[in-house]
Amino acid sequence: MELRNRLKRATGMPLPATLIFDHPNPTALAKYIRSQLLPDVPAADEAADDPEAQIKETLASIPVSRLRKAGLLDLVLQLADEDGEAADEPASTASTSIEDMDAESLLRLASENSNPEN
């Protein structure tokens, strides 16, 4: 009962008297309190199970300036484009040696070769 009262004071949340019995271990209790305090934020273990969420989080963490500097910004924007077509198509990289390609060109080449429509 004392733990519940301390958690109630710390969180400002109304907590049931059966809190400790409803959540029999510290992990379960922490997950419950977290879900009540942050209902719109997925738990870390939920995000870890979703590869798409991991990719989105990783991409969101990369500063735009780094994407631009690496020559990837245009490619990422092209991939994000709904129809997948960029307004200005770059010159074909077919006649260029792989050793001479920058990261953007390599990614574009891989993307073109993995698309069954091409």
Structural domain spans, the chain = 2-43, 62-114
- How far apart CA 118 and CA 116 sit, in angstroms, is 6
Distance of CA 19 to the CA centre of its chain: 33
State the pTM of this model: 0.36
- Give residue 87's pLDDT: 45
- Give residue 96's pLDDT: 56
- How far apart CA 80 and CA 77 sit, in angstroms, is 5
Q: Strand ranges (DSSP E) for 17-93?
A: none
Token pair 């590869």 is found at 51
Q: Compute CA distances 4 → 11, 31, 104, whole Å.
A: 10, 15, 55
Q: Strand ranges (DSSP E) for 15-110?
A: none
Q: Strand ranges (DSSP E) for 31-92?
A: none
- How far apart CA 73 and CA 58 sit, in angstroms, is 15
- Give residue 77's pLDDT: 82
- Chunked into runs of 10 residues, the chain (118 residues) has average pLDDT values of 86 87 87 84 64 78 84 83 54 55 75 60
CA atoms within 13 A on the CB side of 68: 3
Total residues belonging to the chain: 118
